[in-house]
């Protein structure tokens, strides 16, 4: 079982910045079956959507059109932490941000686009509010 813990959420004014962190643990060292780690968000009344995902296999990243150029996804050298740097934030970025781990299929773009439908390993989420 994979454990994920998000942190870094809070309130920020439009145009401001926020940095989210996701700590990942519980992956068996003798059987690493982790393919993609991603950030997803859910706004009130809306379906959960992929924001940015990274492939553990090749390091490739994917960003949704709404955040491209404003958000940056990265991970530490040991791959046990993943970060989301959010700049030039907008009110529509408001929502609960979840870190999710995909253990069965790869492809950052594929998982980011459709993974919200089947990913089982989620963190508890961290709330982000963008308002004046």
* pLDDT score of 72: 98
Q: Read off the tokens for 44.
A: 């009130």
Using the predicted structure, report yes or no on whether residue 48 has a pLDDT greater than 90: yes
* pLDDT score of 33: 67
* pLDDT score of 56: 83
Residues 6 or more apart whose CB falls under 8 angstroms from that of 32 comprise: none
* pLDDT score of 30: 58
Split at pLDDT 50, 70, 90, the class of 116 is: very high
Using the predicted structure, report yes or no on whether residue 27 has a pLDDT greater than 80: no
* pLDDT score of 79: 67
Which one has a higher pLDDT value, 28 or 6?
6
Split at pLDDT 50, 70, 90, the class of 32 is: low
The CA distance from 108 to 110, in Å, is: 6
DSSP E strands in 8-111: the ranges are 10-12, 18-25, 36-42, 49-55, 61-63, 71-75, 81-86, 95-102
Alpha helices in 26-129 (DSSP H): 108-114
* pLDDT score of 64: 97
In tens, the pLDDT along 90-104 reads 999 999 999 999 888
Residues 6 or more apart whose CB falls under 8 angstroms from that of 20 comprise: 6, 7, 8, 9, 39, 83, 84, 86, 97, 126, 128
């Amino acid at each position: 079982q994979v454990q994920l813990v998000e942190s870094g959420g809070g309130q920020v004014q439009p145009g401001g910045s926020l940095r989210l962190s996701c700590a990942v643990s519980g992956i068996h060292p003798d059987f690493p079956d982790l393919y993609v780690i991603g950030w997803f968000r859910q706004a009130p009344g809306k379906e959960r959507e992929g924001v940015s995902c990274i492939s553990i296999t090749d390091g490739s990243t994917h960003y949704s059109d709404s955040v491209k150029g404003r958000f940056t996804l990265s991970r530490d050298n040991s791959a046990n932490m993943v970060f989301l740097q959010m700049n030039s934030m907008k009110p529509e970025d408001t929502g609960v941000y979840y870190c999710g781990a995909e253990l069965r299929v790869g492809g950052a773009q594929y998982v980011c686009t459709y993974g919200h439908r089947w990913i089982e390993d989620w963190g508890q989420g961290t709330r982000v509010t963008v308002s004046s």
